[in-house]
């Protein structure tokens, strides 16, 4: 559900990625692909893939065997799988993380366990696509200018043409 859509009992609501919209409870077991547009809190067991547009929190009692993607990710429980955070990954003192991570910011608390490879990347924001498009446009413009400013082999430079007339 996105901004302006009608929710339960005809009430419209806005999904915000910084507010927890979905909770997987302690007694819940999920397997497969979980896609959420808001924030997600996992307290139960999950196997498969977790894709969140907002924040993802893995609670202290949670057990997750899945690749996780999200904006900011906080892990206090057990995770076995790769994690990609567009923003920050925080491993709490009770975290047990096995897998590779790709993050913009990384915080590991004393007592947390991490086994895997970490890759740091630039923090993504909503303007990153716009910056990439602008860079592509600038690249095209500079290529165009460069090719127009170079004389072609078939056309002699203007200074050589003047020299031939004067001879």
Tell me, yes or no, whether 15 lies in a domain.
yes
Question: What is the end-to-end Cα distance of the chain in Å, rounded?
Answer: 79
Is 70 in contact with 52 (CB distance < 8 Å)?
yes
Q: Is the pTM of this model over 0.95?
A: no
Is the pLDDT at 145 greater than 50? The verdict is: no
Residue 48 host element (H or E) = strand 45-52
Is the pLDDT at 83 greater than 50? The verdict is: yes
Q: Which string of b and e fits 75-114 if b means at least 16 CB within 10 Å?
A: bbbbbbbbbbbbbbbbbbebbbbebebbbbeeebeeebeb
Tell me, yes or no, whether 78 lies in a domain.
yes
Give one DSSP letter per residue of 105-141, joined into a string.
EEEE-TT-EEES-EEE-PPP-TTHHHHHHHHHHHHHH
Over residues 121-132, the mean pLDDT reads 54
Please return the burial class of 54, using the count of CB atoms within 10 Å of its CB with bins 0-12, 13-18 and 19+: buried
Highest mean pLDDT (candidates 52-56, 122-126, 163-167): 52-56
> Which long-range contacts (C-beta less than 8 Å, at least 24 apart) are formed by 157-162?
none
Instruction: Write the pLDDT tens digit of every residue in 42-59.
Output: 999 999 999 999 999 999
CA distances from 23 to 66, 140, 141, 149 (A): 16, 47, 49, 60
Domain count across the chain: 1
Higher pLDDT residue, 20 or 25?
25
Angstrom distance (rounded) from CA 109 to CA 132:
34
- At 115, the pLDDT band (50, 70, 90 cuts) reads very high
Query: For the ranges 32-36, 114-118, 121-125, 147-151, which has the lowest average pLDDT?
Result: 147-151
Quote the mean pLDDT of the chain: 77
pLDDT number for residue 18: 55
Is the pLDDT at 32 greater than 80? The verdict is: yes
Over residues 62-85, the mean pLDDT reads 97
pLDDT number for residue 21: 82
pLDDT number for residue 5: 43
Domain that holds residue 45: 8-120
Q: Provide the Cα torsion 108, 120, 35, 43; round to 10°.
A: -10
Tell me, yes or no, whether 62 lies in a domain.
yes
């Amino acid at each position: 559900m996105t901004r302006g859509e009608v929710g339960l009992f005809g009430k419209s609501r806005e999904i915000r990625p910084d507010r927890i919209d979905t909770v997987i409870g302690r007694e819940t077991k999920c397997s497969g692909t979980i896609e959420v547009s808001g924030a997600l809190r996992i307290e139960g067991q999950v196997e498969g893939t977790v894709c969140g547009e907002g924040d993802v929190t893995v609670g202290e009692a949670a057990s997750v065997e899945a690749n996780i993607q999200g904006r900011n990710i906080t892990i206090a429980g057990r995770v076995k799988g790769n994690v990609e955070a567009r923003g920050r990954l925080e491993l709490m003192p009770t975290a047990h993380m096995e897998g590779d991570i790709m993050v913009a910011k990384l915080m590991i608390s004393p007592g947390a366990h991490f086994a895997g490879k970490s890759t740091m990347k630039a923090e993504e924001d909503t303007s990153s696509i716009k910056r990439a498009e602008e860079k592509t446009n600038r690249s095209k413009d500079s290529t165009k200018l460069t090719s127009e400013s170079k004389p072609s082999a078939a056309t002699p430079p203007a200074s050589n043409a003047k020299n031939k007339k004067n001879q």
